[in-house]
Amino acid sequence: MEWYYTVLIVILVILIIALIFLYIFRERIFNWAMATVLGMYIVSPLDLLPDFIPIAGWGDDIAAFVLMVGFIVRGLKMMYNKKRVKKEDDIVSN
- The secondary structure of residue 47, as a DSSP letter, is -
**What does the pLDDT read at residue 28?**
75
| Average pLDDT per consecutive 10 residues, the chain (94 residues; last block may be shorter) | 85 90 79 88 81 82 92 88 74 68
Task: Identify whether the C-beta of residue 40 lies closer than 8 Å to the C-beta of residue 68.
Answer: no
Taking CA atoms, 67 is separated from 71, 72, 73, 82, 90, in Å, by: 6, 9, 10, 23, 35
**What does the pLDDT read at residue 59?**
86
Percentages helix, strand, coil for the chain, rounded to the nearest 5? 85, 0, 15
